[in-house]
Structure 1
Amino acid sequence: MSLAPRLDLRQSQSLVMTPQLQQAIKLLALSNLEIETFIAEELEKNPLLENGGTGGDEERGASEPADAPEPDFEFEERDGPADASELIAGGGEAAGEAALDVDFAAETFHHDSGSDTIGAGGGLDGSLGLTGAGSGAAPEDGPDFDNLGSADLSLADHLTAQAGASVAGHDLFIAAHLIDQIDEAGYLTAALLDIANRLNVPLARVEAVLATIQTFDPTGVGARNLAECLALQAKEADRYDPCMARLIDNLDLVARGDLARLRRICAVDDEDLADMIRELRGYDPKPGCRYGGEPTLAVTPDIFVARRGAGWAVEINAATLPRLLVNRAYYAEVSAGPQDRTSKAWLSDMLASANWLVKALDQRQRTIIKVASEIVKQQEAFFLKGVAHLKPMTLRQVAEAIEMHESTVSRVTSNKYLSCARGLFELKYFFTSAIQSADGGDAVSAEAVKNAIRTLIQAEDPRKILSDDTLVELLNAKGFDIARRTVAKYREAMGIGSSVQRRRQKALEGVG
């Protein structure tokens, strides 16, 4: 083997990602509202870009799907500007899709979004006639507007205002220190003795100021534990008699549903105990949570789906997408004037960047529509009949059907919400694992199994609570081949307690 230096010529292939291509890939994972923020930043940086309004301001150019024996899956696209061909630089639709549809999982730049590390009346919805969306479970439910106003005022500010009207002098200083130690749920988190030592004041004085704070609104604030919080509310309601005091002192028995011991301890009959438990349920265990939280924000859908004859209309929510235009008149005016080499290069870069961004946003919408249309096609039974008919589906199935890579579908379905007649659903909701059918038929979706478990538990007899083993038998009878540990996992994931916990709860409800 020669040890002398030499020159070798080799050929190799590699994937090179330009900054613009990285940006286009990143845009796929952003929601419409995130895109709106991104576009606002680009409008500030690039003088050749201008906001042409939202797509919701224009007339729709697509027609209704034609009636056909078999359902068809069409999407409506908004007509572009008359000079759209001039606004998009180089390459057609197929070229754009090929550029965006790349597996970057093994590439240097694959961590370009959080999804990579994780496997209304008219106006918002164009012409689909959909109203705003609630949640997947209850589409008719909207945000609780009664709580929005109080969320603007923090609990600390609310208490400080009351302290200013109730105490004065050095006690006001002690009150301010105590309020600083009250958490968002309304509980005092520091020991009074520590506060007294820190402020160098008698413990009795700190206790007196705390007693004043505990009279503030909301009732129960400033308590040091749950029992004290409930006791303060019972006193406010003039229900804190010796029997109620003993009930509150034995909250562990209430949680366990040990009614017999509670009757003996409180020295009351069944009717009085039921009345006391009913009263206890009416109290707020976290009174401070009415203040200081972030305002409830409704989720804005990115895609609308509606039945159209024998097919479906799938549409991007254009109301949240500003429409970008390239101001060619301004470019021509500036380029015609005197400019040095640096200015000319900068202007060319701005034009190329503007053209690329317009093209990337257009291609993003087409890609989202293509993925959403395939989801609707494969999950048509869900849109027609409900969650019990949700089929198991993977990213790979959709990717193969639309001839794109799995990573592209993953990006498109991240942070996107679909609004339909059944409610508002994240696109990831439609991708679920499969549960084999007990009779050898088609596999069913895990979400459909969860729905079946929820339905069985909601309909169970309070005197005959269903155990996990019984749920397995009932599900097998329905055709679901499922193990007991899977039933327990799904039940816990839905926040449903065990049969023992539900039995105690039913007992308390029966008393209350």
Structure 2
Amino acid sequence: MQFKQVGKQQQNQQLNMTQNLSQAISMLEFNSEEVLAFVEDKALGNPLIEVVRPSSDFKESLEAGRRLGGAGAGAEEFDRFSQLPEKQQSLLEYLVEQIYMNYRDTPIRQKILYLVEFIDSNGYLSIDLDEAVASNGGAFMEYLDALTLLQQLEPAGVGARNLQECLMLQTERDQHAPAIAYLILEEDFQLFADRKWAEIAKDYQVELKDIQAVSDYVVKLSPNPGADFGGSMAQVSYPDIRVLFEEGEINVYSTKFGAPELIFQESYLQEMSQYQDQEVETYLTDKQQEFEWLQNSLSYRNETILKVGLQIVERQKEFFKETTRVLKPLTLKEVAEAIGVHESTVSRAVNGKYLETAFGVFELKHFFSTKLASSDEGVDQSADQAQQAIQDIIEKETKTKPLSDQKIVTLLEEQGIAVSRRTVAKYRDVLGIPSSSQRKRFE
């Protein structure tokens, strides 16, 4: 009987170790918000755990991180980028506010208020006027008048039913728009979009450079006039690591955003231990072990993320020092070997974790870039470097005679970067750069 009891205890211990190891792995994968939710859920079922939420104040959130290059900077240096987004006014709220401010209480205003409920997040009207008449009652002309008044509100272009109308609404109220811009958008939108400019120039008896001026104007208009407005709350991403480059030194810190403080309730343990009851004693032992494993899991998570962050900063120093922000080739495997863990561990550590700098917030996986073949033996090039090179080449091209993708391939080879024409086209798309025919300008 005693042997069976010991064997059962060993099985339970092995089961607990397996469960706790799984917990540590899961917590590594969690982002800071998920970690907080997880430990608070654990605390609800464990009277020995008190959770102290991490402070949003930067100075209180910093932990001493390892440094690259020398002494660390003071926390006050980070104050300028430690503010979190505040509540934003939604597009719907902004439009309703204008409606009540500008239009009297009439049946038309009621129609405007009805239509505004069908303005999507981009600022477009998502209901057909005939459908509005059928579902809400009233005359078609009332809804047409209501839409006309709605389209006079800010932002310019709101209430449009398609891209063409959106651009026309913005052009119509702009006194600085090219004289023929509105007419071209209204009468020859498809020809203009297809860049059949010679045909348009002939019809309007203008030069190609005049159509070019219209194009230069139109591309500056907003295709999504509602995009600058938020919902009820802006999305907040809490950084796990902060990096500062100053006076030739790169300083790396971990934060406490993803490390809520766990306080062990010793007084509760002492109080309950007074009861000489085996079940109570077993319960308290289990809950104490749960506290210890939870704390160890938190420490493992934060130490692993910091180690990965240090490797990223060490291997991508130029990204933090130079204004070009070009990344070197870096793989998960390389970082895993450097810190002595499995590649899957690094993958979990970078997914959904953020690094904050003075020039922006980046997800850790942003810093991993694939290697490309190079025509220079022994020199590795990253996809990021190739994209930067393509962008530089196109920026320097003659705008009236843009370079073909094949010509760009040749110029890249001269820089020691070997890529195919298809790859150049793909990277152009990633960078948002149009084809050579679309880049051609008429001066």
Please tell me the TM-score bracket, short chain as reference.
Answer: 0.7 to 0.9
Residue 444 of structure 1 aligns with an amino acid whose one-letter code is: Q
Match for residue 384 of structure 2?
447
The size of the alignment, in residue pairs, is 425
| Contact 2:151–2:159 (CA under 8 A) maintained in structure 1 | yes
Match for residue 192 of structure 2?
254
Q: How many angstroms apart in 2 are the aligned matches of 1:343 and 1:181?
A: 59
Shift of 1:463: 2.1
Q: How many angstroms apart in 2 are the aligned matches of 1:419 and 1:466?
A: 37
Residue 255 of structure 1 aligns with an amino acid whose one-letter code is: A
Match for residue 220 of structure 1?
157
Shift of 1:464: 2.6
Q: 2:256 aligns with which of 279, 299, 318?
A: 318
Q: 1:200 to 1:314 in 2, by over 3 A?
A: closer
Q: How many angstroms apart in 1 are the aligned matches of 2:91 and 2:214?
A: 32
Match for residue 122 of structure 1?
75
Shift of 1:365: 1.9
Q: How many angstroms apart in 2 are the aligned matches of 1:430 and 1:502?
A: 30
Residue 254 of structure 2 aligns with an amino acid whose one-letter code is: I
Structure 2 unaligned segments of length 5 or more: list them: 1-13
| Contact 2:99–2:109 (CA under 8 A) maintained in structure 1 | no
Asked if 1:460 is matched to 2:401, the reply is no
Q: 1:62 to 1:450 in 2, by over 3 A?
A: closer
Q: How many angstroms apart in 1 are the aligned matches of 2:243 and 2:291?
A: 31
1:40-119 correspondence to structure 2 within 5 Å: 40-51=40-51, 57=60
1:461-476 correspondence to structure 2 within 5 Å: 461-476=398-413
Q: How many angstroms apart in 2 are the aligned matches of 1:223 and 1:431?
A: 41
Shift of 1:361: 0.9
Secondary structure class of the residue paired with 1:288: coil
Deviations 1:282-341 (A, max 9, x none): 6544333344546544643212345699986543123553322323233223322x3755
| Contact 1:188–1:223 (CA under 8 A) maintained in structure 2 | yes
Asked if 1:403 is matched to 2:340, the reply is yes
Q: 1:358 aligns with which of 295, 303, 324?
A: 295
Match for residue 265 of structure 2?
327
Match for residue 27 of structure 1?
27
Indicate the larger mover: 38-47 or 56-65. Answer: 56-65
Match for residue 439 of structure 2?
502
Deviations 1:342-364 (A, max 9, x none): 54443333222111111111122
Q: Which has the bigger relative contact order, CA under 8 A and spacing at least 6?
A: 1
Secondary structure class of the residue paired with 2:114: helix
Match for residue 412 of structure 1?
349
Secondary structure class of the residue paired with 1:177: helix
Deviations 1:365-388 (A, max 9, x none): 222223333334444455555768
Asked if 1:210 is matched to 2:147, the reply is yes
Deviations 1:47-88 (A, max 9, x none): 322346759549977897798xxxxxx9x9xxxxxxxxxxxx
- Provide the alpha-carbon RMSD of the alignment: 4.1
Q: How many angstroms apart in 1 are the aligned matches of 2:67 and 2:237?
A: 28
Match for residue 192 of structure 1?
129
Secondary structure class of the residue paired with 1:479: coil
Q: 1:388 to 1:453 in 2, by over 3 A?
A: farther
Asked if 1:180 is matched to 2:117, the reply is yes
| Contact 2:69–2:250 (CA under 8 A) maintained in structure 1 | no
Secondary structure class of the residue paired with 2:227: helix
Secondary structure class of the residue paired with 1:18: helix
Q: 1:36 to 1:272 in 2, by over 3 A?
A: same
Q: How many angstroms apart in 1 are the aligned matches of 2:436 and 2:172?
A: 35
| Contact 1:391–1:444 (CA under 8 A) maintained in structure 2 | yes
Residue 229 of structure 1 aligns with an amino acid whose one-letter code is: C
Match for residue 491 of structure 1?
428
Q: 1:304 to 1:183 in 2, by over 3 A?
A: closer
| Contact 1:393–1:432 (CA under 8 A) maintained in structure 2 | yes
Residue 220 of structure 1 aligns with an amino acid whose one-letter code is: G
Secondary structure class of the residue paired with 1:287: coil
Shift of 1:438: 0.5
| Contact 1:66–1:309 (CA under 8 A) maintained in structure 2 | no
TM-score, structure 2 length as denominator?
Answer: 0.78
Q: 1:213 to 1:53 in 2, by over 3 A?
A: closer
Match for residue 81 of structure 1?
none
Q: How many angstroms apart in 1 are the aligned matches of 2:241 and 2:398?
A: 41
| Contact 1:164–1:172 (CA under 8 A) maintained in structure 2 | no
| Contact 1:383–1:422 (CA under 8 A) maintained in structure 2 | no
Shift of 1:443: 1.8
Identical amino acids, percent of aligned pairs: 32
Q: How many angstroms apart in 2 are the aligned matches of 1:463 and 1:239?
A: 25
Match for residue 82 of structure 1?
none
Q: How many angstroms apart in 1 are the aligned matches of 2:65 and 2:225?
A: 53
| Contact 1:436–1:480 (CA under 8 A) maintained in structure 2 | yes
Indicate the larger mover: 242-251 or 405-414. Answer: 242-251
Residue 323 of structure 1 aligns with an amino acid whose one-letter code is: E
| Contact 2:353–2:364 (CA under 8 A) maintained in structure 1 | yes
Q: 1:502 to 1:296 in 2, by over 3 A?
A: farther
| Contact 2:62–2:253 (CA under 8 A) maintained in structure 1 | no
Q: How many angstroms apart in 2 are the aligned matches of 1:475 and 1:445?
A: 13
Match for residue 89 of structure 1?
none
| Contact 1:53–1:322 (CA under 8 A) maintained in structure 2 | yes
Q: 1:372 to 1:206 in 2, by over 3 A?
A: closer
Secondary structure class of the residue paired with 1:304: strand
Match for residue 39 of structure 1?
39
